[in-house]
Structure 1
Amino acid sequence: MSNSQTGSEGVAAAAKAQAVDMKLEVVIVPVSDVDRAKQFYASLGWRLDVDIAKSDQFRVVHFTPPGSQCSVLFGKGVSTAEPGSAQGLHLIVSDVVAAHAELVERGIDVSEVFHDAGGLFHRGDEEGRVSGPQPERRSYGSFASFSDPDGNGWVFQEVTSRLPGRADSPVTSFTSPTGLAGALRRAAAAHGEHEKLTGQHDDNWPDWYAEYMVSEQSGAPRPT
């Protein structure tokens, strides 16, 4: 078989695979004490979907974070991984400061909001953390972290504008009232700057807001 044949077959296989949606539905988190973990994830304000025990050796607990299409599963007899070994689980939020404040209010031990110095944090170097949000609040640049009682590690990451490759279409959708409210606040602030630049009131602000929000989610250039 030639290299050209192999490459052609690979392209064909990839094209065929892309015709089928593959949606990440559940992430398994290994825990040592199911009831303790259940209490913790409930205290985050996450929705309890399932708690089923079929025997003394098998139990499944299923939680979903607000606005998430992917859920978290833990229990007894569901994983051979070491409790606490799940690390770097990312929760995407539109406002990391607000998300941090909510966890503090709920009594959760959460780190300060920080940003990444030159990719060091993502390489596992704690010294890469710099206190405070990313100075320009660039999307993907601001974080906060916390752990469950077993030490499974979670990270808030602030994303307000998706990279072009991470958006499927220019259709704007929001999975929660909080996400929509945050987008409206950002659009209002940007529109205020727009009116300062033009020096006049914009009577067409609803259309401007709509264009801003669609562009923000699709990764396209935003109106100025």
Structure 2
Amino acid sequence: MDWTLEVVVVPVSDVDRAIEFYRDRVGFALDHDTRAGEHRFAQLTPTGSGCSIVVGTLPAQQEMAPGSLRGLQLCVADAGAARAELLSRGVEAGEVVVLDERDGGTFFGFSDPDGNTWAVQQLRVRGEKPLIPHEHRIGSGGS
């Protein structure tokens, strides 16, 4: 049986501000922004990822304090290029740190406007062998 992690709740204080940050600055795709009565929830997905984040006002999304999520991790093929991209979009990002020269040992971090923190790990293998092949990504002509 496969168990796939597909959504992570990110606790935020302002849904509009979170969408602007994650979509316009970090570059996640906005999958949907849904309003249901007094509730609102939006799902955003990093390019190449099978897992999305969700922000909103549903009761389960309000159980954590805004900014309390720590160390959620993204993986990229080139940490230096990813950091430069974020900086060019106005995201404050920490310096690239090499803890181990082997693949997987290079990191940097950033925070969202509420203070939720993200680690970005360099895995060069992701450039050679992405988890989701490009031909299967939405918008790439695949299925």
Q: Could you tell me which of 24, 34, 56 is aligned with 2:15?
A: 34
Q: Could you tell me which of 151, 157, 163 is aligned with 2:121?
A: 157
Give CA deviations for 1:10-67 in whole Å, capped at 9, x if unaligned: xxxxxxxxxx1001010000111111111101121110001001022x1110000010
Deviation at 1:159, TM superposition (A): 1.3
The RMSD of aligned alpha carbons is 1.8
Q: What CA distance in whole angstroms lies between the structure 1 residues aligned with 2:131 and 2:116?
A: 28
Contact 1:49 1:62 in 2 (8 A): yes
The TM-score normalised by the length of structure 2 is: 0.83
SS of 2:121's equivalent in the other structure is: strand
- Tell me which structure has the larger Cα radius of gyration: 1
Query: Amino acid of the residue matched to residue 105 of structure 1?
Result: S
What corresponds to 2:56 in structure 1? 75
What corresponds to 1:98 in structure 2? 81
Q: Could you tell me which of 15, 22, 31 is aligned with 2:3?
A: 22
Gaps of 5+ in 2: 135-143
Deviation at 1:175, TM superposition (A): 3.3
- Number of residue-to-residue matches in the alignment: 129
The TM-score normalised by the length of structure 1 is: 0.54
Q: Percent identity?
A: 46
Contact 1:66 1:176 in 2 (8 A): no
2:54 equivalent to 1:51: no
Q: What CA distance in whole angstroms lies between the structure 1 residues aligned with 2:66 and 2:98?
A: 28
Query: Amino acid of the residue matched to residue 83 of structure 2?
Result: H
Structure richer in helix, relative to its length? 1
What corresponds to 1:121 in structure 2? none
Structure richer in strand, relative to its length? 2
Q: What CA distance in whole angstroms lies between the structure 2 residues aligned with 1:145 and 1:114?
A: 9
Gaps of 5+ in 1: 1-19, 117-133, 163-171, 178-224
Q: What CA distance in whole angstroms lies between the structure 1 residues aligned with 2:36 and 2:120?
A: 34
2:43 equivalent to 1:62: yes
Cα 1:176/1:95, change in 2 over 3 Å: farther
Q: What CA distance in whole angstroms lies between the structure 2 residues aligned with 1:83 and 1:73?
A: 13
Deviation at 1:105, TM superposition (A): 1.0
Cα 1:26/1:175, change in 2 over 3 Å: same
Give CA deviations for 1:161-189 in whole Å, capped at 9, x if unaligned: 49xxxxxxxxx555366xxxxxxxxxxxx
Deviation at 1:104, TM superposition (A): 0.8
Name the structure, 1 or 2, with higher relative contact order (CA <8 Å, separation 6+). Answer: 2
